[in-house]
Chain A
Amino acid sequence: MGNLGSVFNAFQALGVPAEIVNTPAKLSEATGVVLPGVGAFGDGMRNLRQGGFVEVLDEEVRRKGKPFLGLCLGLQLLATTGLEHGENAGLGWIPGVVRRLTPEHAELRVPHIGWNDVRAVKAGGLYVGLGEVHSYYFVHSFALQPDDLSVVSGFVDYGGEWVASVESDNISATQFHPEKSHKSGLTLLKNWAAHAC
């Protein structure tokens, strides 16, 4: 809820044709797939499973190699396991665990809410034209810790370094909300859409 509409509005504003789908079959017609999401890990996976999306996502994104963009919870669900409200299996596309944020300094509050700098570590891809450091809007209490750090394309400092984005072949995802990150966010979505459409 919530950011589905905002993501749609952002693509509308960019002139990128987009559709909100309720049935997995529709995904096979798409040239790229975006998985937004707010809420808890377990609920998110349950919704995908009950809607019959898990197999279709696997087929379209992993086997057919369609461009994929996960946003916020949509990034976290890529992990093998999530530890929010108990242990839940994720999609498992990016080996790793989603753990609660534990900033080193006690005065840093969780959730991590607001604009923070992302340090891009992969050239090209999502951050084309955005420079090495840019601010984006974050709202989260959990973060992905991937087994293999080479998938990480951006880090954010919040009492330690946390994963801000991952990019691995056709799979991209951001922990922050590009659809709420003003002009830099729209540029990032445009960069992704350039490959997906």
Chain B
Amino acid sequence: MLKKRLIPVLLLQNGLLVRSEAFSIHQIIGDPIHEVGRFNEWSVDELIYLDISRDDSYDLRRDDKKLRGLTSPLTILEAVSRTCFMPLTWGGRIRSVDDMRARISRGADKVTLNSEALRNPELITEGAKVFGNQAMVVSIDARRRPDGQHEVYIAGGNTATGWTAADWAREAERRGAGEILVQSIDRDGAGDGYDLDLISSVAAATTIPVIALGGVGRYEHYVDGIRAGASAVAAANLWHFKELSDRGGKRALAKAGIDIRKV
């Protein structure tokens, strides 16, 4: 049967790999080009790259090796896709069908839309018509409100939208999204597990696959995400601070009796 998926998320900021905490602290952890081979070797089921840069200054801060000139995220994408033989999702700063085409033609299988999907929801439909629903991932960043509801934020967690995560996920599916990537802003970098209410509310509101993100600190947290209704479980920071994170994650899922791709 169809397997549940384990997905590393790589965060790019101004051409560098970063780790993130509560959407506000970003710590540089390396050079994405240098790490491409290692990430592509991981025994995982997909890769998601999110470009969270706020401006156009891409700088690898070094010109001491052959990396010179490798300054734009699209160039990073090209380098990634040359040796990435698993599904690759690319997100960040996508505002038009042309932006999607620029990424898909460079090797992305899917693109994720976040802020722009809320500003211009028609973009989801336009993209789905050209590239298919399966290529449209709508990414939702949500914060828990005191009343227990999860509110969607855009612009890197800075702007509240008034939408609940479940309502916006349902609307995104109606408009042509093929998958939802749901991330808890509160749990980002916290390491104390997914916001399971958030995941289950979004999974219940939709019929498309849901990818859970935000909060994984131990491999067992993946199991909770799947049990809350996610079809795929993702994490970002964990991958940079634990050795053999691919095997560890898969082992925890398999041990819990979840059907995964054996590696």
Contacts and interface: CB of A to CB of B under 8 A. Distances in A.
A binds B: yes
Interface of A: 1-3, 5-6, 9-10, 12-13, 38-39, 108-109, 111-117, 135, 137, 139, 157-158, 179-183, 185-186
Tell me the dominant secondary structure on chain B's binding face: loop
Nearest to B82: A9
A164 to B, nearest CB: 13
10 contacts: A2-B104, A3-B109, A109-B209, A114-B5, A114-B45, A114-B209, A115-B45, A135-B262, A158-B2, A180-B86
Interface in B82-100: 82-83, 85-87
Interface string B94-128: 00000001001111110000000000000000000
B105 A2 contact: yes
B92 to A, nearest CB: 19
A106 to B, nearest CB: 10
Interface of B: 1-3, 5, 43, 45, 81-83, 85-87, 101, 104-109, 131-135, 178-179, 207-209, 231, 261-262
Contact of A115 (B5, B85, B134): B5
Contact of B85 (A117, A135, A157, A185): A185
Contacts of A180: 85-87, 109
Nearest to A139: B134
Contacts of B83: 9, 13
A174 B3 CA distance: 19
Contacts of B106: 5
Nearest to B208: A109
A144 to B, nearest CB: 18
Nearest to B4: A114
A34 to B, nearest CB: 15
A139 B105 CA distance: 18
Can you list the 7 inter-chain pairs with the closest CB atoms, starting with the nearest? A115-B3, A135-B261, A115-B261, A182-B86, A114-B2, A116-B2, A139-B134
Nearest to B262: A135
A2, A13, A179 pick with most chain B CB within 10 angstroms: A2
Contacts of A3: 109
Contacts of B231: 114
Contacts of B104: 1-2
A2 B87 CA distance: 11
Given A1-B104, A182-B85, A113 B3 contact: no
A160 to B, nearest CB: 12
A13 B40 CA distance: 12
A131 to B, nearest CB: 11
Contacts of B132: 38-39
A109 B101 CA distance: 26
B134 A116 contact: no
Contacts of B85: 6, 9-10, 13, 179-183, 185-186
A180 B109 CA distance: 9
B134 A113 contact: yes
A5 B81 contact: yes
Contact of B82 (A12, A39, A179): A12
Contact of B178 (A113, A116, A186): A113
A157 B133 CA distance: 22
A157 B81 contact: no
Contacts of A6: 81, 85, 107, 109
A185 B207 CA distance: 29
A1 B105 contact: yes
B165 to A, nearest CB: 20
Contacts of A1: 101, 104-105, 131
B233 to A, nearest CB: 13
Contacts of B134: 111, 113, 139
A1, A38, A137, A157 pick with most chain B CB within 10 angstroms: A137
Contacts of A13: 82-83, 85
A147 B45 CA distance: 34
Nearest to A103: B2
A181 B2 contact: no
Contacts of B209: 109, 113-114
A5 B3 contact: no
Contacts of B1: 116-117, 157-158
